[in-house]
Amino acid sequence: MLSRAGARVSVRNLRFAYPAGRGAAVLDGVNFDIAAGERVAVLGPNGAGKTTLMLHLNGILTPTSGSVEIGGTVVSRQTVREIRRRVGLVFQDPDDQLFMPTVGEDVAFGPSNFGARGDDLTARVESALERVGLAGAASRPPQHLSLGQRRRAAIATILSMDVDVVVLDEPTSNLDPSARRELSATLDALPATIVVVTHDLPYALELCPRALVLDGGRIVADGATRELLADAEFMAAHGLELPWGFDPLSIW
């Protein structure tokens, strides 16, 4: 099922501007590499371009210029079908991904569209649900799950696709502490490359050893998450604020 090593992500000179009338470039020369299996947080203030960057990683948006590569394959109109099998996006609102009558049908939707049938499809659904701690939930309607369970079910919809890269947008939004712990355990067990776009700085530190900071459409820092969060002057300059009393250097 899921790739054991993930895939490398390479972004080169990425620029993107929305159609005329929407202002300047949202992404303005973004460059970075993420190694296969690495876990990286993308941080930055509102309007920095984080979600726009996320939507380039599986071809929902097409660069104005520059390139995105997943495991050596350039994201383009010609490769977008392959890319979307390899890169799974988990949106902030799980209801954007859960639209079928049952959880099992939601999890089966992607692989069935790529030709999985019969025992293979059943095995994919069962394995994906087991990985996110929802074994036995296939017959349940998504609306009967808690928010935390729905978020994990949304992750299952991409795991069933045998993805190499998992990209999550604000995965802890509105989750209570118990649901956060469950989500952390789920993500911690995944072997795929993981990119987390988040304002939740303690969670970024918990899950991702490395962070990219995006501001004004550019990467302004790329380094160890702990060290970046501990730099109070840098954080203030880029509109990032830790919770009161939280010391990143005291967390091990």
Residue 200 included in any domain: yes
Tokens of 151: 């978020």
**For residue 159, is it within any domain?**
no
Residue type present at position 234: F
Asked if the structure places residue 136 within a domain, the reply is no
* Cα 178 off chain centre by: 21
> How much is the pLDDT for 80?
92
* pLDDT score at 20: 63
CATH assignment of the domain containing 168: 3.40.50.300
What pLDDT is recorded for position 4? 44
CA distances, 179 to each of 51, 152, 184 (Å): 23, 9, 9
What's residue 248's pLDDT?
81
Which residue from 202, 197, 200, 231 is spatially nearest to 214, judged by alpha carbons?
Answer: 197
pTM of the model as a whole: 0.89
Q: Which domain holds residue 53?
A: 9-95+164-250
Give the model's pLDDT for residue 178: 84
**pLDDT at residue 3, rounded to an integer:** 42
- The total of structural domains in the chain comes to 1
Query: What secondary structure does DSSP assign to 212-224, as a single string?
Result: EEEETTEEEEEEE
Neighbours of 155 (CB within 10 A): 26
Q: How much is the pLDDT for 196?
A: 95
Per-block mean pLDDT, blocks of 10 residues, the chain (252 long): 69 89 80 96 92 94 94 93 91 89 94 88 91 90 92 90 91 84 84 92 93 95 95 93 82 65
The pLDDT value given to residue 23: 62
DSSP strand pairing (165-169 vs 87-90): parallel
So what's the pLDDT on residue 10?
A: 97
